[in-house]
């Protein structure tokens, strides 16, 4: 049964916009759902999001960054995801455990096996049945992300300002994760027209919902 969907992708992949469009579509279909995100969708998470996403890359050590992310995830699952699943809602999360593997594992070079164990602890075993990975060439993605950056204000750009090499490692990480788990992960390119990407996402969701209903 399709109960939990995560949307993943690198910075500038168009993820936030596509998640919003998908939520509008599910609403139009009358699907009982909850749209959520990581980090930052609990009272604690809002403070953690500010620490994680604002400032320069060097403002946090890699280990501090990891533990803040895991703390946010543990609280997110307990306060938001599990209650919604218990109410029978379809949960759609903008980022989840795969982001930790891609960013802290492939991007930062942390041990993937350790990260998987820590993810399991943080989630309590709650994992998505479907993950849509939005994929975009790094140069295109960074050009998009640059339009959002404001060097004169405290904005969310720690990861976006990491540079090309880091973003390439993250992108490769997401693609390798998808290749390793094809029954759960579907890669959708986002370097074309916005609505073409959205239509692909909608078809994927519709097909999985149809399968869940036993159609």
Query: Taking Cα atoms as reference points, which of 102, 103, 99 lies closest to residue 123?
Result: 99
Q: What is the chain's percent helix, strand, coil content, to nearest 5?
A: 55, 15, 30
Give the number of other CB atoms < 10 A from CB of residue 18: 23
Side-by-side strand order, sheet with 33-37: 33-37, 90-94, 4-9, 130-135, 185-189
Structural domains present in the chain: 4-212 (3.40.50.300)
Contact assessment for residue 201 and residue 22, using Cβ atoms and an 8 Å cutoff: yes
- Looking at residue 162, its pLDDT comes to 76
- Looking at residue 56, its pLDDT comes to 66
Contact assessment for residue 94 and residue 36, using Cβ atoms and an 8 Å cutoff: yes
Per-residue tens of pLDDT for the chain, all 215 residues: 899 999 999 988 999 999 999 999 999 999 999 999 999 999 999 999 888 887 666 778 999 999 999 999 999 999 999 999 999 999 999 999 999 999 999 999 999 999 999 999 999 999 999 999 999 999 888 887 776 655 544 455 667 667 899 999 999 999 999 999 999 999 999 999 999 999 999 999 999 998 877 75
Query: Taking Cα atoms as reference points, which of 204, 199, 203, 206 lies closest to residue 18?
Result: 199
Instruction: Provide the residue count of the chain.
Output: 215
């Amino acid at each position: 049964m399709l109960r939990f969907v995560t949307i993943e992708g690198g910075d500038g992949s168009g993820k936030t916009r596509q998640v919003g469009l998908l939520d509008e579509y599910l609403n139009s279909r009358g699907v009982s759902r909850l749209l959520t995100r990581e980090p930052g969708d609990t009272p604690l998470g809002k403070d953690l999001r500010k620490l994680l996403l604002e400032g320069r890359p060097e403002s946090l050590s890699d280990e501090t960054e990891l533990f803040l992310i895991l703390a946010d995830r543990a609280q997110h699952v307990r306060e938001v995801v599990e209650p919604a699943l218990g109410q029978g809602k379809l949960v759609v999360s903008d980022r989840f455990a795969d982001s930790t593997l891609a960013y802290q594992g492939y991007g930062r070079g942390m041990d993937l096996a350790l990260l998987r164990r820590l993810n399991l602890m943080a989630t309590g075993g709650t994992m998505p049945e479907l993950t849509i990975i939005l994929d975009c060439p790094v140069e295109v993605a960074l050009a998009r992300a640059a339009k959002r950056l404001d060097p004169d204000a405290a904005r969310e750009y720690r990861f976006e300002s990491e540079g090309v090499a880091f973003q390439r490692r993250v992108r490769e990480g997401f693609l390798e994760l998808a290749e390793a788990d094809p029954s759960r992960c579907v890669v959708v390119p986002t370097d074309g027209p916005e609505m073409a990407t959205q239509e692909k996402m909608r078809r994927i969701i519709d097909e999985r919902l149809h399968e869940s209903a036993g159609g």
